[in-house]
Every structure is written in structure tokens, then in C-alpha cells.
Copies of this chain bind each other. A is one copy, B any other.
Amino acid sequence: MKDFTFYNPTRIEFGKEKEDNIGQYVSEFSVGSVLILYGSDRIKTDGLFDRVTASLKKQGITFESVGGVISNPLVGLVREAVDVVKKNNLQGILAVGGGSVLDSAKAVAAGAKHDGDVWDFFVGKAEVKEALPVFSVMTLAATGSEMNPYGVVTNSETQQKYPIGSPLLFPKVSVINPDLMATVTPEYLAYSAVDIYSHCLDLYFTASFLPVYTAALIENILETVMRTTGVLMNDPKDYHARGEFAWAATMALNGNTFAGVEGNSYDTHMIEHAMGALYNVPHGAGLAVVLPAWMEEIKDQKPERFERFARKIFNSADGDEGISKLTQWFTSIGAPVTFAQAGLPEDAVDPIAENAFDNAKLWGMDTMYPKERIARILTLAVK
């Protein structure tokens, strides 16, 4: 075990109808007014918005709301939301949606306490020193944002999809009610499964030191994702499968998988963020394209890790077969594994590689990933 700090103060309220208590949770933190941030208007037609606001009103909590957050959420909307918060002097941010909404909410929470442009935090021009408290009611499980201090937002003008992170951005309370996720489309279920998978595999295959306990923890998350995705593809309303899927998503990026690990990096995310920034590919779809190709590129660096993966996850003695079986599984759940399937033109290799190389520089990974190597991985994925 290598040295580590584990700290995660987010409270998870998991279960049926827990969103009806959101007013109470918010009031426990002496927050008297919030900005409700959300995505599509679906939450207005399916009754969720009304139930959440009824719960807030019951506690005397006032609110404003801003909708329209999209997949690969844009800093433009974050800026608008920051203005609403500042103008109304709101005391907290309540995200109602999936990872994109919550990621945006974190940016708003930091931006509301910052005099300059919120994008400053993403490009290293400012540090988060203060933030409004963030709460969430999740309607999609994938990013793990509900129990971590990170967010990713896209700047469409500069074509940058960049992360923000600060211990101040841990949500205070996140509600995970599997019933709210029962209407996720099969397409987005597949993307979510791939996102969780990549959070795990980025670490699993890059770590220079991986405790056996942590390897097995990751394998348990992967097994859970595969098993429950299979169940949910047949029966989207299976509550326990939906619940285990959601909890696996949370566990994949809440710090548990980092414990005692050394030398890990988020390679497929570094590349995928470029796809999202340039072509607005859904995050999970982009990852499905990158992941098998990336595994091909790096497999000879840690053959024993690839053998373990093949053995534990696919009951195969052959490391290469682990990659092909994973690719087959992605295809079987409807995740794209080629440029064409993801709707990316072949000539996108160069611009994505260039954009990803900017990420690599920002993340301190440019020695490991020169532009040519990123292009080679992407070319493998063109097929």
C-alpha cells in the first residue's frame, strides 16, 4: 500500500422516495435558498421538479431554477447560472439530473464565490477557495460525481473540455433513488456502463502499484456493472439491479479505488475529452471507442495485469482475449467501438489527437502521450 489520504464527507441518501426529503437535507445545512439546476424539461413533465420544490417549500427554502444543461455541459450555461445565483444571492446549488448537471452545479457553486470568470478555475487562472454548498438528486448513474469533488465542463468557444476539482466541491448530500433512473434509455445505460468501466480500467491498467485488495474491489465493480446492465437491458425497472448499478458507479470514483494505489492516470478520459469538446460525442460513447484501442496500445507494458483482467472478468487465460471480449460486450450492449459507429469522421483523428495533446500537457501526461501516440490509438479505433 502506497501513502494516501482518504477523505469523503458526502452523505449519500439512497433509496425509494428519498428525493421527497431533499428540503430537510438542505435545511440541515442552514441553507435557506437554492438554485435548482437541471437538464431537459422531462423533470417538469414527470413530476420530479414538483416533488423536489414541494419538499423545499415545506422547509421554507426559496429557489430559482435554470434548466437546459446538456451532455458535455457548456460553460456558457454555467455562467448564466452563476449570474442568477449572484443576482438573487442564493445560498446553495441543487442539481437535479445526471453527472453533467451535477458537474455544472459544482462549477456554479465555485463561480458564485469568484469575482472573475468561472472558466478561470478550469484553466488554472484561479483556485477554488470558497464555494456554495452543493446538493444533488440523481436521475442517472455514471460519473460518480454524486460522491466526489470533481466536475467536467466544456468551453465550446475554445473547444476545451476541462475538469475542475476541490475538496470544497464534495456534494453535502446526494440522493440516489434507483426508481428515478428507471427511464434511462438503453443507449444511455450502455454509455453509463462504459463510463464506470473506464473509471475503473484507467486506474487498473495504469497503476504502477495496485494492492491486491484494490484490484479485487475494481473487479467487483466491473462484475456488478456487467451483471446489472444485463438485467436492466431486459427489465429497466428492476430496482435492485438499478440500485447496484448506481452504487457501483458511485464506488468507482469516490476515492475507494485510489487507496494505496500509485502512478495511476486517466488516459482514456484525457483522449475522450477531446472527442467531446470537438464533436459533442456522448462521454460514454467516446470512451467505448477509445478504451479497447487504448488497451491494445498499452497491453505489453503490463501483461500480468491484462492476464488478471481476462481471468477475473472473462474467465480466460489470455490477456488479448480480455480485450476482445470486452469489445464484444460493448457491442452487445449497443456502445460504439469504432469512429463510424460513434458518428465520427475518419479525418477526425488529427484534430482529436491535437486537442487531446493539449489535455495531456495540462494533466502532465505529455511525455507519456506525444501527439503521435494519441493519433496511433485513435487510428486503431477508426477500424
Of B6, B15, B240, the residue contacting A4 (CB under 8 A) is B15
Contact B212 A216 (CB under 8 A): no
Instruction: List the number of copies, as a whole number.
Output: 2
Q: How large is the interface on A (under 10, 10 to 19, 20 to 34, 35 or more residues)?
A: 35 or more
**In whole angstroms, how far apart are the Cα atoms of A2 and B246 in the complex?**
13
A9 contact set on B, CB distance < 8 A: 7, 9
Question: A16 an interface residue at 8 Å Cβ cutoff?
Answer: yes
Q: How far is the CB of A225 from chain B (nearest CB, A)?
A: 10
Any B CB within 8 A of the CB of A247:
yes
Determine the residue in chain B with the shortest Cβ distance to A147: B6
With both chains docked as a complex, state the minimum distance between the C-beta of A224 and any C-beta of chain B, in angstroms. Answer: 5
Residue ID in chain B nearest A8 by CB atoms: B8
Out of B1, B2, B247, name the residue touching A213 (CB < 8 Å).
B247
**For the complex, is A318 an interface residue (Cβ under 8 Å from B)?**
no
In whole angstroms, how far apart are the Cα atoms of A2 and B247 in the complex? Answer: 12
Contact A1 B247 (CB under 8 A): yes
Within 8 A of B (CB), among A208-258: 211-213, 216-217, 220-221, 223-224, 227, 239-240, 243-244, 246-248, 256
1/0 per residue, CB under 8 A from B, across A318-348: the answer is 0000000000000000000000000000000
Contact at A247–B260, with CB atoms within 8 Å? yes
CA distance A248 to B248 in the complex (A): 19
Note all chain B residues with C-beta closer than 8 A to A4.
12, 14-15
A1-32 residues at the B interface, CB under 8 angstroms = 1-9, 11-16, 18
A-B contact pairs, 25 of them (CB 8 A): A1-B14, A1-B240, A3-B15, A3-B16, A4-B14, A5-B11, A5-B13, A5-B14, A6-B11, A6-B14, A7-B11, A8-B8, A9-B9, A14-B260, A211-B243, A213-B220, A213-B247, A213-B248, A216-B220, A216-B223, A217-B220, A220-B220, A243-B260, A247-B259, A247-B260
